[in-house]
Chain A
């Protein structure tokens, strides 16, 4: 089950006509889907759209009432293929994923879908993971919309507009028989706001009201020879129908004064950022009352030539605000203007950045340049830019050093960390090996203190990416893959391929039980629980059935054993694929499960054991080798209290979950004797107490207990149970 519980949000999804929905952008999209009468929803988790699926997974009852089919797909290709239901049937469907990566995985199915066209509205909701906070390669989904002729919605980032575009998007899809992509940037997915809700609409056909199989119609297949007329249809029928719909329903917005010698065309998603710069320039206000003619493109593909030309006609110049590269919209508008023989000057990437996020500073600078070029030099804007730059210089001077970065790291007690500790220990012994990295939490091992990995080629692709490396080096390449990547793509693209080709390489599969990086969604191998979707499919059985002979299972926290197993995999004469399944449940999920249970037992006076680690401050000499082999957030440093030493010493804080890695590493790497494990027995029973008393008495008998000097007053303080 997912990391976040959406108990109260689910109530928001049930709101009816005239009630006010308040919540996150991506959940507003979810509500809009229900209001649009979707018959099926699917997708693959990934920031920033994960919550859409998570909330629906937890809304089983409501989906059943409405007759909506929910599919937690094993990858984006499967999700895209699901939209095939809308090719033949009047079923509205929506799928979602993280883009660009998910769109790439999905693109085979998307191309086929777009060629055949749809009769039921088909919507692809993508989280455009671009700019600050993004975790993937920086590319635009726009390119995919262009090449497959799918329409691209980029709504203003406020809930009423987003919801309207979802609803209108389905109509647009049906009016033009074309799948529609709804693109939301990270901040738009996570923006909190409100809109006036409507009743949810049950789909006309569903499990509650079944329909007959479609008649055989060859032209519904994406198969030659009909693929040729389908390509023609895209431009002869679907495109004009879409343009007509966009104009008629005013999906794009003309705001500001009717006339003016200069104007701005902006992607809907960037409007709020632009408006805040216009406000600073005195050209708008906090209500978006823009004083320059502005065309907001809530639909960025297709453009409607009449709309563009009527906006540009009579203007000396327009500034196009289009984020990311290549400059698809700018090229299209230039093309439209040329064809219409309009000589309105078009600015865009000449004043704004060609690549990278359009932050307030980038937008401000571009806007200032544009205004200045047309005789409207704007003092407030330019003063602001000068001020920001001057202060940046002052701050740099005052700091005098670079600030250390703070990338994400493995959580406290993460079961994946020990594998990388083991690899680091083994590297010292055997020298470096080629490491193929995958997508998932384990990719955090590319950051310090592990700093390892030679390539990242996509989700579930690590093993495949090492295929041509195998056999070219002294040591076998090692590929890392999570159970998420394994089921997403790795089993077939990686394992089957390596077996087929007898590649001599090593695969480590992190079997932590969930798709952890995205918020602990269930996978086929997740343990089947009452309300979960896991099926307990065994990874070992899966690779065995593909013909892998060398398979070892390790408990990740047993570092010495992991080192031994990995060494064996590197040295065994077996020249096929060697698979190590590294078992260790995601600690976030585990703690979420056991912590309340433990607290409940302790509060009820039941015997509870908890353990954690501790660094002996007098024994630690402050070299921090242990940290270089772990990087655990709860293993940190603190000032040395010894007046004779100044280097800070290692210290385990109270976040420690007692995973045992510290002790294992200090043993496996033969580090130092500073680590101790503390077992606390809360509410000890009679036997515990008796044993403890006897031990203490015996220790005292042999001269221990009070030590050689009077102990300082260190009576345990009484801390109420949390």
Chain B
């Protein structure tokens, strides 16, 4: 019997990423180096962006060593894989979960880049997995690991990530294949050779310990500092705890841009109301400052128009879409305001009247689809007209309603703080539920109203056991974000109500 053991490689990738090509390069380079290699895969429908794997075995010396054909496996065995290369962080962890990465054996080459699953990206809040935890799992279970952002490296080299992974595999020195032979395999493939060789070099550098380029960060063209900002900011820094002051200063800038100095002062007035209260800590004020600024800069039609006319927006967008300087970009905005968005720009009494009429006519579902070309003067003027209504905003129905909501929310926070500061913290967080436009906004407000009326108020009225207050608010907020139909929220409210029933029974 021979002692020769095949070297085993597993590639984890998403369908359509070129994992098959990568496996081909490796396998061809192995054969060209005088070894015997075998590769296989299970593409199937997974080629349509699903998770999939490719498996390679390489027997050094190959057939020549024995004058006999090797018998190699077609499946990876857990605990017996020498090198795992994965193009994405979650897929890396999936191969670890399947047992293919072992601390006594496996050299792991993994990309930090994420391609979010539908579950993660369709969550109503933040459904993303914790990348640090995944990376630490990867490091923990690999014998050695090269973990870098291969997608960013590929983007920088203007090639597919598979070429960069190949470079890292070649550079790892774990395979009995000269680097030159890998290059030759790319050349022999004959497709996008230059780009792939660029990626290959980038991968070699990653393996040699060079850091992959940091992924591009988008920085929105936010409002700039002005003199007034300086003044009000100073006030914020004086009157608010240090932890909260930075966020509050950001809030001030946001609201100056949104409405004006008076409105920004109103923001600080509201915050200072809390900062002075005994028992309320700095982190609560900080979170309050965050949510209050967001809620006070509610996204009415005027705000949307303002954002869409921001300078620097076109440049940023050109960057993102990789547009060359000599090319022309046209931007078409997709807007579709409904009756609520339009008539809430009227003064409260009139607006309410019109909306009642619209509802009576059954027109609430009607809306006005518009495609506005902001790069043409006509489209620009339409939006500019809207944006110029800014001065009129405090007299609109929407403004009145938003301020009423904010006061109600702040009132609940205040009352909750008097009972239990942890509960107050959770009441602050409920503001997260109110966001977006149209349906989303209505759903969020609806959920918030339910939580306020059926959870927060009963606790404040002492109808429910005080010890459960904070947790009940937290659970109901999470439930509201669990599904768009409000089913989970219904369940949570039901179970909180049963607390009150239990209490009654116990009392009796």
Q: Which residues of A come within 8 Å of B, CB atoms? A: 22, 25, 47-48, 129, 132-135, 157-158, 160, 186-188, 190-193, 271-273, 275-277, 279-280, 284-289, 291, 359-361, 364, 384, 387-388, 391-392, 394-396, 398-401, 403-411, 441, 444, 447-449, 517, 560, 612, 614, 616-619, 621-625, 627-628, 631, 633, 635-638, 641-648, 654, 662-663, 666-667, 669-673, 675-684, 688-689, 692, 695, 698-699, 702-712, 714-722
Q: Given the known A-B contacts A192-B27, A678-B330, are A276 and B77 also in contact in the complex, defined by CB atoms under 8 Å?
A: yes
With CB as the reference atom, state the residue of chain A lying closest to B88. Answer: A406
Given the complex, which residues of A lie within 8 Å of B125, measured CB to CB?
622, 647
Q: Given the known A-B contacts A48-B44, A642-B220, A704-B380, are A678 and B331 also in contact in the complex, defined by CB atoms under 8 Å?
A: yes
Least distance between B385 CB and chain A CB atoms (Å): 10
Q: Identify which of B141, B307, B315 contacts A618 (C-beta below 8 A).
A: B307
A627 touches B70 (CB 8 A): no
With CB as the reference atom, state the residue of chain A lying closest to B3. Answer: A285
A644 touches B254 (CB 8 A): yes
Given the complex, which residues of A lie within 8 Å of B235, measured CB to CB?
none
- Asked whether B260 is an interface residue with its Cβ less than 8 Å from the other chain, the reply is no
B128 touches A673 (CB 8 A): no
A646 touches B126 (CB 8 A): yes
Given the complex, which residues of B lie within 8 Å of A409, measured CB to CB?
48-50, 118
9 closest cross-chain pairs (CB), A and B: A707-B311, A133-B42, A714-B315, A711-B312, A408-B50, A288-B71, A360-B77, A276-B73, A698-B377
B42 touches A286 (CB 8 A): no
Q: Identify which of A286, A662, A684 contacts B328 (C-beta below 8 A).
A: A684
CA distance A464 to B147 in the complex (A): 52
CA distance A631 to B116 in the complex (A): 11
CA distance A427 to B64 in the complex (A): 65
Q: Identify which of B45, B69, B321 contacts A158 (C-beta below 8 A).
A: B69
Q: Identify which of B50, B71, B128, B318 contacts A716 (C-beta below 8 A).
A: B318
Q: Given the known A-B contacts A644-B247, A678-B321, are A403 and B440 also in contact in the complex, defined by CB atoms under 8 Å?
A: no
Given the complex, which residues of B lie within 8 Å of A186, measured CB to CB?
42, 44
With CB as the reference atom, state the residue of chain A lying closest to B39. Answer: A192
- Asked whether B329 is an interface residue with its Cβ less than 8 Å from the other chain, the reply is yes
- Asked whether B381 is an interface residue with its Cβ less than 8 Å from the other chain, the reply is yes
Given the complex, which residues of A lie within 8 Å of B475, measured CB to CB?
none
CA distance A663 to B136 in the complex (A): 39
A273 touches B75 (CB 8 A): yes
- Asked whether B121 is an interface residue with its Cβ less than 8 Å from the other chain, the reply is yes
Query: Number of B residues whose C-beta is below 8 Å from A?
Result: 138
CA distance A662 to B371 in the complex (A): 13
CA distance A364 to B294 in the complex (A): 59
A388 touches B327 (CB 8 A): no
Given the complex, which residues of B lie within 8 Å of A396, measured CB to CB?
97
Complex interface bits, B350-374 against A, C-beta within 8 A gives 1, otherwise 0: 0000000000000000010101000
Given the complex, which residues of B lie within 8 Å of A398, measured CB to CB?
136-137, 140-141
Q: Identify which of A291, A667, A688, A720 contacts B334 (C-beta below 8 A).
A: A667
Q: Identify which of B93, B318, B381 contacts A403 (C-beta below 8 A).
A: B93
Q: Given the known A-B contacts A616-B307, A625-B436, are A404 and B119 also in contact in the complex, defined by CB atoms under 8 Å?
A: yes
A682 touches B44 (CB 8 A): no
B6 touches A280 (CB 8 A): no
Q: Identify which of B79, B310, B320, B440 contacts A387 (C-beta below 8 A).
A: B79
- Asked whether B1 is an interface residue with its Cβ less than 8 Å from the other chain, the reply is yes
B384 touches A624 (CB 8 A): no
A627 touches B333 (CB 8 A): no
Least distance between A571 CB and chain B CB atoms (Å): 16
9 cross-chain CB contacts under 8 A: A192-B38, A272-B73, A406-B50, A411-B16, A648-B128, A675-B333, A699-B377, A710-B224, A722-B158
A673 touches B437 (CB 8 A): yes
Given the complex, which residues of B lie within 8 Å of A395, measured CB to CB?
96-97, 99, 137, 141
Least distance between B320 CB and chain A CB atoms (Å): 7
A614 touches B40 (CB 8 A): no
Q: Given the known A-B contacts A47-B45, A272-B71, A399-B137, are A663 and B307 also in contact in the complex, defined by CB atoms under 8 Å?
A: no
Given the complex, which residues of B lie within 8 Å of A133, measured CB to CB?
42-44, 46, 52
- Asked whether B219 is an interface residue with its Cβ less than 8 Å from the other chain, the reply is yes
- Asked whether B59 is an interface residue with its Cβ less than 8 Å from the other chain, the reply is yes
- Chain A's interface: helix, strand, loop or mixed, by majority? loop
With CB as the reference atom, state the residue of chain A lying closest to B254. Answer: A644
Q: Given the known A-B contacts A186-B44, A621-B440, A714-B221, are A673 and B334 also in contact in the complex, defined by CB atoms under 8 Å?
A: yes
Given the complex, which residues of A lie within 8 Å of B121, measured CB to CB?
624, 627, 635-637, 648
Q: Identify which of B310, B312, B329 contacts A679 (C-beta below 8 A).
A: B329
A644 touches B290 (CB 8 A): yes
CA distance A648 to B380 in the complex (A): 29
Q: Given the known A-B contacts A272-B72, A666-B336, are A619 and B311 also in contact in the complex, defined by CB atoms under 8 Å?
A: no
Q: Which residues of B come within 8 Å of A, CB atoms? A: 1-6, 14-16, 24, 27, 31, 38-52, 55, 59, 66, 68-80, 90-91, 93-94, 96-97, 99, 102-103, 115-126, 128-129, 133, 136-137, 140-141, 158, 217-224, 247, 250-251, 254, 290, 293-294, 299, 304, 307-313, 315-338, 367, 369, 371, 375-377, 380-381, 384, 432, 435-440, 444, 484
Least distance between B398 CB and chain A CB atoms (Å): 15
CA distance A241 to B258 in the complex (A): 90
Q: Given the known A-B contacts A447-B118, A706-B311, are A624 and B123 also in contact in the complex, defined by CB atoms under 8 Å?
A: yes
A648 touches B126 (CB 8 A): yes
B124 touches A633 (CB 8 A): no
Given the complex, which residues of A lie within 8 Å of B304, measured CB to CB?
619, 673
- Other CB < 8 Å A-B pairs besides A398-B140, A663-B334, A712-B312, 18 of them? A134-B44, A192-B27, A271-B71, A286-B59, A287-B2, A287-B4, A361-B99, A392-B99, A406-B51, A618-B310, A627-B118, A637-B121, A677-B371, A683-B326, A692-B375, A707-B221, A707-B312, A712-B219
Q: Identify which of B48, B102, B116 contacts A441 (C-beta below 8 A).
A: B48
With CB as the reference atom, state the residue of chain B lying closest to A679. Answer: B330
Q: Given the known A-B contacts A673-B437, A677-B334, A688-B328, are A286 and B70 also in contact in the complex, defined by CB atoms under 8 Å?
A: yes
CA distance A392 to B141 in the complex (A): 11
Least distance between B488 CB and chain A CB atoms (Å): 15
Given the complex, which residues of A lie within 8 Å of B380, measured CB to CB?
698-699, 702, 704
Least distance between A48 CB and chain B CB atoms (Å): 7
A644 touches B224 (CB 8 A): no
CA distance A389 to B336 in the complex (A): 56
Given the complex, which residues of A lie within 8 Å of B99, measured CB to CB?
361, 388, 391-392, 395
Least distance between A259 CB and chain B CB atoms (Å): 18
CA distance A612 to B439 in the complex (A): 25
B90 touches A406 (CB 8 A): yes
B327 touches A682 (CB 8 A): yes
Given the complex, which residues of B lie within 8 Å of A633, measured CB to CB?
49, 115
With CB as the reference atom, state the residue of chain B lying closest to A131. Answer: B42
A670 touches B93 (CB 8 A): no
B331 touches A287 (CB 8 A): no
B218 touches A287 (CB 8 A): no
Given the complex, which residues of A lie within 8 Å of B336, measured CB to CB?
666-667, 670, 673
Given the complex, which residues of A lie within 8 Å of B329, measured CB to CB?
678-681
Q: Given the known A-B contacts A47-B45, A191-B39, are A671 and B437 also in contact in the complex, defined by CB atoms under 8 Å?
A: yes
Given the complex, which residues of A lie within 8 Å of B116, measured CB to CB?
636-637
Q: Given the known A-B contacts A133-B52, A623-B436, A678-B331, are A289 and B299 also in contact in the complex, defined by CB atoms under 8 Å?
A: no
A643 touches B250 (CB 8 A): yes
With CB as the reference atom, state the residue of chain A lying closest to B217. Answer: A641
B328 touches A692 (CB 8 A): yes
CA distance A619 to B438 in the complex (A): 13
B311 touches A708 (CB 8 A): yes
B315 touches A711 (CB 8 A): yes
B43 touches A47 (CB 8 A): yes
A399 touches B93 (CB 8 A): yes
Given the complex, which residues of A lie within 8 Å of B335, measured CB to CB?
673
B38 touches A689 (CB 8 A): no
B117 touches A406 (CB 8 A): yes
Given the complex, which residues of A lie within 8 Å of B323, measured CB to CB?
680, 716
CA distance A616 to B102 in the complex (A): 44
Given the complex, which residues of B lie within 8 Å of A628, measured CB to CB?
122, 484
